[in-house]
């Protein structure tokens, strides 16, 4: 086709001289404006997580991203190399430490932060007296994997009909609750719901919000004192 293109060396020369400095300048300018805005707010809620360049514990680089959850705007990105911190397992905590140090230096007052359940991060935030909440995606993933495993056991096949509904219930509980007790009341209502019981003893959530309707699959309801019910609610 006789198409012409830049040689790679030419592209890299232009990228180093023009493109990369322009991108960095724009990011720094935008970040300064965001940090200035956040420093004037009394209640800042952040979310943080790390993305590594390879799965498992063999990653060399990890980028830790912090987002303002009220505007869904990225506030900071920290690149951490594993040999800086003694292994890839420690990169996530180091990324968070660096981001929080930047926010503190810019006068941002943190109300709480949403992260995954990384043990080092839990301890670090607990020692700093920073309120931490778990990302609902990680919670839903863990619960769904356990329930899916149980549903494959003999006598517990009926649970397979509830996997999607329970996963949706986790997200709905997190999205519609404003307090911890309300969140617990809504989540534990699933114990009654799977038995076709839609009124509950907890006054914070006395009944299910869905319309009353007749189910076409009456066999899906779980019965107390049966293997799938005990496996699903061991306590």
- Same structural domain, 112 and 145: no
- Same structural domain, 169 and 82: no
- Which domain covers residue 129, as residue numbers? 8-134
Kindly report, residue by residue over 101-156, the tens digit of the pLDDT: 999 999 999 999 999 989 999 999 999 999 999 999 988 999 999 999 999 999 88
> In the listed set 134, 156, 191, which residue is the last one of a domain according to the structure?
134
- Same structural domain, 12 and 54: yes
Q: Rounded CA gap, 154 and 39, in Å?
A: 56
- Same structural domain, 130 and 144: no
- Same structural domain, 119 and 185: no
Element (H, E) at 50: strand 44-52
Number of domains making up the chain: 2
Question: What is the CA 115 to chain-centroid distance, rounded?
Answer: 6
Give residue 60's pLDDT band: very low, low, confident or very high (50, 70, 90): very high
- Same structural domain, 74 and 52: yes
Give residue 165's pLDDT band: very low, low, confident or very high (50, 70, 90): very high
- Same structural domain, 113 and 169: no
pLDDT computed for residue 235 by the predictor = 64
> In the listed set 134, 151, 179, which residue is the last one of a domain according to the structure?
134
- Same structural domain, 129 and 156: no
Give residue 53's pLDDT band: very low, low, confident or very high (50, 70, 90): confident
- Same structural domain, 106 and 52: yes
Residue whose tokens read 């799938």:
228
Q: Is 70 exceeded by the pLDDT of residue 56? A: no
Cβ neighbours around 183 below 10 Å, total: 16
Q: Rounded CA gap, 103 and 99, in Å?
A: 6
Burial class of residue 75 (count of CB atoms within 10 Å of its CB; 0-12, 13-18, 19+): buried
> Who has greater pLDDT, 93 or 217?
93
> In the listed set 74, 103, 134, which residue is the last one of a domain according to the structure?
134
Kindly report, residue by residue over 199-231, the tens digit of the pLDDT: 999 999 999 998 877 777 788 899 888 888 888
- Same structural domain, 122 and 190: no
> What would the mean pLDDT of 192-199 be, rounded to a whole number?
92
- Same structural domain, 45 and 125: yes
Q: State the pTM of this model.
A: 0.79
Cβ neighbours around 167 below 10 Å, total: 16
- Same structural domain, 18 and 117: yes
């Amino acid at each position: 086709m006789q198409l012409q293109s830049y040689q790679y060396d030419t592209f890299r020369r232009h990228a180093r001289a023009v493109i990369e400095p322009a991108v960095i300048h724009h990011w720094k300018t935008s970040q300064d404006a965001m940090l200035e805005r956040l420093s004037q707010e009394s209640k800042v809620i952040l979310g943080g997580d790390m993305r590594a360049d390879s799965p498992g514990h063999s990653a060399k680089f990890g980028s830790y991203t912090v987002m303002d959850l009220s505007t869904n705007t990225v506030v900071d990105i920290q690149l951490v190399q594993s040999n800086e911190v003694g292994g890839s397992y420690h990169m996530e905590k180091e990324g968070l430490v660096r981001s929080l140090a930047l926010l503190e230096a810019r006068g941002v007052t943190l109300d709480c932060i949403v992260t995954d359940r990384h043990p080092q991060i839990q301890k670090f935030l607990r020692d700093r007296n920073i309120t931490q909440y778990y990302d609902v995606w990680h919670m839903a993933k863990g619960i769904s994997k356990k329930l899916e495993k149980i549903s494959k056991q003999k006598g517990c096949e009926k649970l397979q009909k509830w996997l999607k509904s329970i996963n949706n219930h986790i997200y709905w509980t997190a999205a519609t609750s404003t307090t911890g007790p309300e969140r617990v009341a809504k989540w534990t209502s699933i114990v009654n719901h799977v038995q076709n019981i839609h009124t509950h003893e907890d006054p914070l959530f006395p009944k299910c919000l869905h319309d009353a309707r007749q189910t076409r699959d009456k066999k899906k309801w779980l019965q107390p004192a049966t293997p799938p019910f005990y496996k699903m609610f061991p306590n």
